[in-house]
Copies of this chain bind each other. A is one copy, B any other.
Amino acid sequence: MPGEFDLIRRYFHAHTTHTVLGVGDDGALLQPRPDMQLVVSTDMLVSGTHFFADADPFLLGWKTAAVNVSDMAAMGANPRWITLALALPAIDEPWLGGFARGFRDCCEAYCVDWIGGDTTRGPLNLCATVFGEVPAGEAIRRDGALHGDDIWVSGWPGMAALGLGQLRGELQLLSGWEESCLERLHRPMPRVALGIALRGIATAMLDISDGLLGDLSHILDASGVGAMIEETALPVETLLAACKRTEQVMAALLGGGDDYELLFCAPRERRGQVEALARHLELPLNRIGRILDKSGLWIQRGNGVCEAISVQGFDHFKS
């Protein structure tokens, strides 16, 4: 049975392109570029809470890196380095090989150097910490939304939740849609290029990991504002093509996490720039509402009626 150090060497050795010293010492060595601020985020994924115990190791490796990379996108930062600590119940070499390949593939796809980590015995637990660079003062935080700002969302929020519903047997996707919904669930593509492009445009931003409404409420709380969502502006078409039940589609769109789409606010006068970005990135950017100066979260129904809505984000400790 190989020891810890052999294990680390065998699977955790990764080629680095912009790191002074990678895996193998007490710490890795980085040289941040001049005038850059560093953005740091850490995410812990636990078997049974964040993924099924029998999850495909390659996809799990990808996702472990991706959810962290997405936090960089959400700040408008360029992801640069990542560490990975993991606890494993036993050595399962095929599993480790698949996991490391998925993690490494995602790192390479986003030009992130995998610079170190830790391995120990214990119930399966994956903890990555990612570092990004952003020019000083240009990070896009949650606390900058202003009265009158438009609220935008990227891509197709809710597709991952539809895929999860299908896996759990809670809903039935229409023919041909299972694969694309599961792809979104298992292999999210963080919106790094969009996040970086929104520097100087977005006033507030985050990535949707707990659900659109739940995450929007974080922006509202941090910025001390409220919001009105326009029901008819929500990007439901693709979701309704995958699943005919409107109620399930709306629950997935407003409450589902795991897509890692970006939710951001921008002044009205930036609309043209945001629309140009959508064309340039070939990515739908939908304007779904606006920031209010009174607190609270409201939805304007198709019939024009406005209703206060409550947030039911996914919360790991709520019963």
Contacts and interface: CB of A to CB of B under 8 A. Distances in A.
Interface of A: 1-5, 7, 20-21, 24-32, 34, 37-50, 71-72, 74-75, 77, 81, 83-87, 91, 115-123, 125, 127, 129-132, 134, 136, 139, 141-143, 206-207, 218, 222, 315-319
Given A4-B316, A40-B116, 17 more contacts: A1-B317, A3-B315, A3-B317, A24-B222, A27-B75, A27-B77, A29-B37, A29-B39, A30-B37, A30-B39, A41-B116, A44-B120, A46-B87, A50-B120, A83-B129, A91-B317, A121-B316
Contacts of A75: 25-27, 29
B40 A38 contact: no
Assembly stoichiometry (copies): 2
Contacts of A119: 316-317
A229 to B, nearest CB: 21
A40 B28 contact: yes
Contacts of A207: 26
Contacts of A47: 122
Contact of A74 (B4, B26, B37, B118): B26
Contacts of A40: 27-30, 81, 83, 115-116, 129, 131
Given A40-B116, A41-B28, A85-B42, A21 B122 contact: no
B42 A120 contact: no
A41 B20 contact: no
Given A46-B87, A49-B122, A315-B5, A28 B39 contact: yes
Contacts of A131: 38, 40
A141 B123 CA distance: 32
Contact of A1 (B20, B72, B142, B318): B318
16 contacts: A1-B318, A3-B318, A20-B37, A27-B40, A27-B71, A27-B130, A30-B39, A31-B37, A31-B38, A40-B129, A42-B85, A43-B118, A48-B122, A49-B122, A121-B317, A123-B125
Given A31-B136, A122-B46, A316-B120, A142 B26 contact: yes
A30 to B, nearest CB: 4
A84 B116 CA distance: 16
A32 B131 CA distance: 12
Contacts of A85: 42-44, 127, 129
Contacts of A21: 139, 141
